[in-house]
Structure 1
Amino acid sequence: MFERFNEDARQTVVQAQEEARTFGHDYIGTEHLLLALLRRTSSVGGRILVRHGLDHDAAGDMIARLLAGTGQDALDAKALETIGIDLGAVREKVEAAFGPGALDRGPRPRRERPWRFGGHIPFTARAKKVLELSLREALSLKHGYISDGHILLGLMREGQGLAARVLADAGLDFEVLRQDVRTELG
């Protein structure tokens, strides 16, 4: 699939690795792809996002807040709540059985991270899905290549990742954004 990526799409993937390194992450998620698009304001995806009122710093701040302690936990609790699991009740039962703080996370064990020295950082399943969907978007537009605009379309089509959450929280209308990208891609 990567052989179909044009230079802007390739640079977006390279920049996503840099964004992950900046956050100290050992993965490339949808949020890193979004930040990479926003970093490249001369390309289709970045230009359109900025035109719709989202910039790299604002998106980075939103991502940092969402990933901070309560941000990710709140997302997890909400997801569990939608399938009928009350996280508070589970916590109470576990702490009653194993003692207070039994579910508190300790420090993460330090792992070797070869990517700190220039190695490749792996994509999350959701980020891989976005790249797959970017190919589908390119094919649906009858393009023989994948551009960063197609990656933006893939982010919106995937719709569940942190990048989609940031776009929605920023008040961007996916349909309007999608139409602008398609128009610019031709």
Structure 2
Amino acid sequence: MHGRSWTDIGTALGVTRQAAQQRFHAPHQRYDPETMSEDLRQAMTHVKRAAVRHRNNYIGTENLLWGLTAEDNSATRLLGAAGASPEALHQTVGDRLSMGASQAAERIAWTPYSRKAIALAEEQAEEAGSAHIDCDHLLLGLARIGRGVAAAVLDEAGLDADTLREAAAAPPAGRAVRRG
């Protein structure tokens, strides 16, 4: 994007071209927007906006959690069902977004934990029989990793993967459970 080759970048970092490209290249078609629900695509616009606004050259778990809690979606409803305030979590993770020095706005690399979270979200969607990854799947993916800023914020709120899974499996509040 800045007119430098991967070989130049690798040389500057003291690593091979391939190592530099693997570490800093944006995810490939695996994370195609077509595999995401409309809500998740909207959340991803918030994710990218946060990374650009904070001049980050990466999308970390903190960016993902911030984007997931930016507006009402299946993740914020799951957080509410688990007894957490999505607004408070949004504010907490927003306070932890650090200002970087990057000017990159088009191709922002995903951190290893963020790539793992989306892979876990994909698994979660498949297990649920869904054709699309949704916001709650990504939230569960972030919780399952158990590392990174998002995991720390969720942990401080008393939320882990098991708690979120239980909340997801519970019937919505106000509805009677039908027993046969």
| Band of TM-score, shorter chain | 0.5 to 0.7
Match of 1:114, SS? Answer: coil
Whole-Å Cα distance in 2 between the matches of residues 137 and 18 of structure 1? 26
Unaligned residue ranges in structure 1 (runs of 5+)? 69-107
Cα distance in 2 for residues equivalent to 1:4 and 1:184: 27
| Contact map agreement 2:140 2:165 (CA 8 A) in 1 | yes
RMSD of the TM alignment (CA)?
Answer: 2.5
Structure 1 position 25 matched with structure 2 position 15: no
Greater share of helix: 1
> Shift of the alpha carbon at 1:59?
2.6
Higher relative contact order (CA 8 A, sep 6+): 1
Q: 1:128 to 1:173 in 2, by over 3 A?
A: closer
In 1, the alpha carbon distance for the partners of 2:133 and 2:86 equals 23
Q: Which position in structure 1 is the counterpart of 2:145?
A: 158
Distance 1:141 1:48 in 2: 15
Write the letter of the residue equivalent to 1:123: W
Contact map agreement 2:144 2:160 (CA 8 A) in 1: no
Q: Which residue of 2 aligns with 1:131?
A: 118
Alignment match of 2:93 (pick from 59, 73, 76): 59
**Residue deviations 1:34-72, cap 9 Å, x none?**
0001102x21102332551242113322x24xx69xxxx
- Structure 1 residues 134, 173: CA separation in 2 closer, same or farther (over 3 Å shift)? closer
Task: Describe the SS at the equivalent of 1:47.
Answer: helix
CA distance in 1, matches of 2:154, 2:119: 20
TM-score between the two structures when normalised by the length of structure 2: 0.66
Instruction: Quote how far apart the aligned CAs of 1:170 are.
Output: 2.2
Match of 2:164 among 174, 177, 180: 177
CA drift of 1:22 comes to 2.6
Q: In structure 2, what is the Cα distance between the partners aligned to 1:59 and 1:181?
A: 22
Q: How does 1:36-75 map onto structure 2 within 5 Å?
A: 36-40=67-71, 42-50=72-80, 51-55=83-87, 56-61=90-95, 63-64=96-97
Aligned residue identity for 2:91: D
Aligned residues: 137
Equivalent of 2:104, from 114, 137, 144? 114
1:38–1:49: 8 Å Cα contact kept in structure 2?
no
Match of 1:144 among 125, 131, 137: 131
Among all aligned residue pairs of Structure 1 and Structure 2, give the percentage whose two residues are the same amino acid: 31
Residues of 2 paired with 1:122 and 1:173: CA distance? 26
2:51 & 2:168 partners in 1: Cα distance? 25
CA distance, structure 1, for counterparts of residue 160 and residue 104 of structure 2:
39
Distance 1:19 1:184, change over 3 A: farther
